[in-house]
Structure formats: structure tokens, C-alpha cells
Amino acid sequence: GIQVEQSPPDLILQEGANSTLRCNFSDSVNNLQWFHQNPWGQLINLFYIPSGTKQNGRLSATTVATERYSLLYISSSQTTDSGVYFCAVERRSTGTASKLTFGTGTRLQVTL
């Protein structure tokens, strides 16, 4: 199956700093999602981004499908950005079942 690795595993930022989280995957994919798991455990969809670049407020994501990686940018970080960020991918053909494979996560702590 597809292997998904995220880096760094842990990240501590001071409020206001910028950061880049990386997701590498071992095979071509046709689905890639970024999630934020907040300190209460909720999994929140950030981006659906199998290729290209998207932006949503202070967050943006870029997936370079041909090179098998995706980046999540967090600018002007806030304490509410703390939590674990997951990348999840899948590769499937039309008509087959969907099955996301999750990465190992990046644990982010934003301090005052």
C-alpha cells in the first residue's frame, strides 16, 4: 500500500511565526486531504488538494503530484492552530472503494 510520511513530527512555534509542514507519499495519488486534529480531538478538513495550490485565510497548501509531496503553509500562527496536522491520500480507480491512508502527523504547539 501507499506509504505516507510527514515532517517534522513535532513543531513548537511562537505566536506570529510561519511554518511549513511536509507530506511525502510513495505512489501517485488521485486524492489528498489535509486535516487538523484540534486539542479536543476533532478532525477538521482543511484542504482537498490532489494537485495545485489552494489558500484559505492564513493557511495554504500546495501539492506537486509528479514529485509525490504536499506542503501545508501556516502563516502568522495563533495558539488555536495547535494540534496535530494529518495528510491523507488515496489512489484508486473508478468504481473501486475509497480508502484514505493517513500520514503519521505533525504535532504543532503554538506558544504565546
Partner 1 sequence: DTAVSQTPKYLVTQMGNDKSIKCEQNLGHDTMYWYKQDSKKFLKIMFSYNNKELIINETVPNRFSPKSPDKAHLNLHINSLELGDSAVYFCASSQDPTRTQETQYFGPGTRLLVL
State the residues that interact with partner 1 by CB under 8 A.
Answer: 30-31, 33, 35, 37, 41-43, 45, 48, 50, 84, 86, 88, 92-95, 97-102, 104-105, 107
Shortest distance in whole angstroms from residue 76 CB to partner 1: 26
Task: In whole angstroms, give the CA distance from residue 111 to residue 104.
Answer: 23
Choose between 77 and 106: whose C-beta lies nearer to partner 1. 106
Rounded to 5°, angle at Cα 44 from 92 and 13: 115
Please, are residues 75 and 58 in contact by the beta-carbon 8 Å criterion?
Answer: yes
Choose between 10 and 15: whose C-beta lies nearer to partner 1. 10
Shortest distance in whole angstroms from residue 99 CB to partner 1: 5
Task: In whole angstroms, give the CA distance from residue 17 to residue 47.
Answer: 21
Side-chain half-sphere of 56: how many Cα atoms within 13 Å?
9
Choose between 30 and 111: whose C-beta lies nearer to partner 1. 30
